[in-house]
């Protein structure tokens, strides 16, 4: 077991697990996501289409990739899911940067920060998850399956669970009620 293998394993489970959890959250509370998209300026038809698309992509990429990783570790399905996750997280980062730059106090619609205005931490989290997904996809041959359970796999499960929870809560925990300095300066 190398440090790269452990890092790739933890990163894969964090990135895919966070995406799957987000999809489950959106599927469980679709009206919350639709209200957020409305506040972000999406029209009724576009809101529904985007809401369904986002939820479907998150569930498909996150859950399918996570299950494939748990069962098989390093295989093409996991690397494909991680590559798709990297692209989706990059799109989220770009969209979040645009909303943050506009300076509107629109909610994020993500994680426990659904009611909080989008902020730089939402963008930073999406970038970290995008880069992490890309790294895990590149180092994908070294991702460990969760079975058979051993000390290394247990460490990976605990670390990925803790990091995933931290990333999930990051925007809400670091919410600053003041407007973005970028929006104030017109940057």
Domain boundaries, the chain: 3-178
Sequence length of the chain is: 187
Whole-number pLDDT of residue 113: 54
Whole-number pLDDT of residue 24: 93
d(CA 46, CA 78): 31
pLDDT tens figures, 90-145: 999 999 999 988 887 788 887 655 567 888 888 999 999 999 999 999 998 888 88
Helix, strand, or coil (residue 139): coil
Using the Cα atoms of residue 55, residue 173, residue 125 and residue 155 in order, give the sign of their dihedral: negative
Helix, strand, or coil (residue 107): strand
pLDDT tens figures, 17-44: 999 999 999 999 999 889 989 988 899 8
Query: pLDDT at residue 55 above 60?
Result: yes
**Residue 48: how many other CB atoms lie within 10 Å:** 14
d(CA 4, CA 9): 8
């Amino acid at each position: 077991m190398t440090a790269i293998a452990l890092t790739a394993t933890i990163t894969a489970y964090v990135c895919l697990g966070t995406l799957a959890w987000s999809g489950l959250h959106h599927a469980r509370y679709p009206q919350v996501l639709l209200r957020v998209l409305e506040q972000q300026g999406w029209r009724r038809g576009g809101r529904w289409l985007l809401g369904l698309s986002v939820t479907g992509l998150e569930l498909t990429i996150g859950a399918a990739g996570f299950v494939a990783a748990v069962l098989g570790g390093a295989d093409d399905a996991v690397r494909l899911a991680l590559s798709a996750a990297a692209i989706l997280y990059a799109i989220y980062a770009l969209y979040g940067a645009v909303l943050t730059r506009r300076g509107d106090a629109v909610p994020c619609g993500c994680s426990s920060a659904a009611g909080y205005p989008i902020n730089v931490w939402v963008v930073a989290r999406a970038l970290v998850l995008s880069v992490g997904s890309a790294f895990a996809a590149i180092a994908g041959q070294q991702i460990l399956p969760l079975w058979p359970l051993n000390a290394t796999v247990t460490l990976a499960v605990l670390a990925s669970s803790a990091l995933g929870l931290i990333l999930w809560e990051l925007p809400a925990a670091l919410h600053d009620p003041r407007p973005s300095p970028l929006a104030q300066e017109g940057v």
